[in-house]
Structure 1
């Protein structure tokens, strides 16, 4: 933690920040833990500041609605030195074999989240898409993948990728109802203690969009028993299940693009490995 940031954190939180421990070299923010009880997030780019301001407006309302804890920003330092700070939530990421109890609780959380009033989300400044504008967003992302990622794949992999994109767009439901979503719900942002869900963190990607995006990891990146248990508390139709599978396959494509944009070849390589692993046969 740089000296100026450390001094500002100490002044706002009243704790010694000299032993701040960097726990996440995230794509959008650097995350520090202080004194075992505070989390400090520092944006990497100017645009991330607005994401955190929006998150600060949204979280208090989610805290009163959701059946699972979310962070409560106690400090939003919005000046030349920008950071947010909140009390650390208990728990650890779920690991490779999360249980059915966790799945059911996550389904309950998603049911509540996706029922959040759309009009209120708009009042809070959350980015909003309807079915048509979400489809255009996905088309733009697929086109970027064709330009920047597909040339790094072999001919058969490119063919399978095209078929994957084509199936998604051919079956898109133009009457889809969008909802408030987390937008980046994966194991890094889910906390548990024993079998209990103790928190969901990092809401900076929240928007009004396709609810199936929040099901991508939960249905397609977890054991079958977990996915089946989640569907008991969050009913999923076949179309949602298929869209969630598409979004899950896209995860590593984001990693490749970020690695290319930031000049981080290790991310490009790990992302390409994930792309190849998740391509449909």
Structure 2
């Protein structure tokens, strides 16, 4: 989006105080992030950088965990992850990663997909990346401080999150009944946990055509339910494409269970719960209204 001169000056001066000299004419700001303002700019030596500027003080502690995690996980993945060469309370900056986002939002707020989600190349690439991630030994990243949940805790946490949102918002009865049935049925739930990214979807995937090159935004990384990394894919593709992805994932060492696909669908259905929790955390009126709409949609 266009960047005004005062904003450009502020970002340039912030970068300069951390030893990064950027060309102000190249600054391009993305305001979509909920936790960070993000800018892409070229340094005077021609290297492109990503600058993440915290929107609120409460994101700082989580960013510290994310930074430690990125250093720990990078050697174990074939895709690139951010290399935070600057990490302070007021700025995170790293060299621009390879690839282009698989999903962007246009000026009218509409999603723009930049590859075929059902292509065999994407199915293979996504399955390979997730199998690689999910088979990393959690012991290698545990010291970073990321959240870790046992199978029982995965389920209990989701139950507690839903209960909190139901207590604070008017939630449609159909959703409450759906989630209750899911929570009470053992067949849906994992009996093991893996390392997960938490928000794998094309806006966080930098692509070369339909092939994954880099993964962004590891703020939600945790040791927990592997379905977290498949739920967006499940919601976006045909059953045949999803089954092909899972077959490739299993062939590469991933592990699933009989109701894995159904569990992904139920997990995605709680996206309004996550929005509700975020709205309660920030107290932002727009987020609260959006959560109300999603939790009790007009019939």
Whether contact under 8 Å (1:10, 1:16) holds in the other structure is: no
Question: In the alignment, what sits opposite 2:174?
Answer: 160
Report the secondary structure of 1:204's partner residue. coil
Aligned pairs (5 A) from 1:26-175: 26-35=33-42, 37-76=48-87, 78-79=88-89, 81-94=90-103, 95=113, 97-98=116-117, 99-149=119-169, 151=170, 153=171, 158-172=172-186
Matched, 1:263 2:284: yes
Give the Cα–Cα distance (whole angstroms) in 2 for the partners of residues 111 and 276 of structure 1.
36
* Deviation sequence 1:146-180 (CA, Å, 0-9, x none): 1233x1x5xxxx22112221122112468721111
- Number of residue pairs matched? 270
Question: In the alignment, what sits opposite 2:265?
Answer: 245
How much is the aligned-residue C-alpha RMSD, in angstroms?
2.8
Whether contact under 8 Å (1:100, 1:225) holds in the other structure is: no
> Which consecutive unaligned segments of at least 5 residues does structure 1 have?
none
Cα separation, partners in 2 of 1:175 and 1:199, compared to 1, 3 Å:
closer
Whether contact under 8 Å (1:180, 1:209) holds in the other structure is: yes
Of Structure 1 and Structure 2, the greater helix share is in 1
- In the superposition, the TM-score normalised over structure 2's length comes to 0.79
Spell out structure 1 runs of 4+ moving beyond 6 A: none
> Which consecutive unaligned segments of at least 5 residues does structure 2 have?
1-6, 104-112, 251-255
Cα separation, partners in 2 of 1:2 and 1:147, compared to 1, 3 Å:
farther
1:212 pairs with one of 227, 245, 248: 227
Cα separation, partners in 2 of 1:24 and 1:225, compared to 1, 3 Å:
farther
Whether contact under 8 Å (1:39, 1:85) holds in the other structure is: yes
| Aligned-residue offset at 1:108 | 1.0
* Deviation sequence 1:57-116 (CA, Å, 0-9, x none): 22233222222222222221x25x333333233212252842221121111111111112
Give the Cα–Cα distance (whole angstroms) in 2 for the partners of residues 184 and 195 of structure 1.
18
Cα separation, partners in 2 of 1:199 and 1:205, compared to 1, 3 Å:
same
